[in-house]
Amino acid sequence: MKVLKKGTETNWGKEMTCSGYSLGKDGGCGALLLVSPRDVKSQYDGDGDTRYWFTCPECGANTYVRYDVFSRR
């Protein structure tokens, strides 16, 4: 097959485990999830910090992630 025009590369996500560590709630279910950048929510806390997390579709627990988890460094 010959590529006629290169497409844009898509970041499909990262494998992450539901640990439930965030927002005052611990004890996630341990599910292994493919988390995309669209799944990550953020909130500015007013003290100069922004928190990032995803919500597990299995148990509803939130798990913190680093802000740079999807960067290509």
Across the chain, which has 73 residues, the per-10-residue mean pLDDT values are: 72 87 74 92 86 92 83 54
Domain with 52 in it: 14-65
In a domain, 49, yes or no: yes
* Torsion sign (Cα): 25, 40, 56, 17: negative
Q: How many whole angstroms separate alpha carbon 36 and alpha carbon 24?
A: 23
* Torsion sign (Cα): 59, 64, 70, 73: negative
Cβ neighbours of residue 58 closer than 8 Å, sequence gap 6 or more = 18, 29, 31
In a domain, 3, yes or no: no
Q: Is the pTM of this model over 0.75?
A: no
Residue 10: its pLDDT value, please? Answer: 65
In a domain, 4, yes or no: no
**Domain total of the chain:** 1
Residue 6: its pLDDT value, please? Answer: 77
Residue 34: its pLDDT value, please? Answer: 93
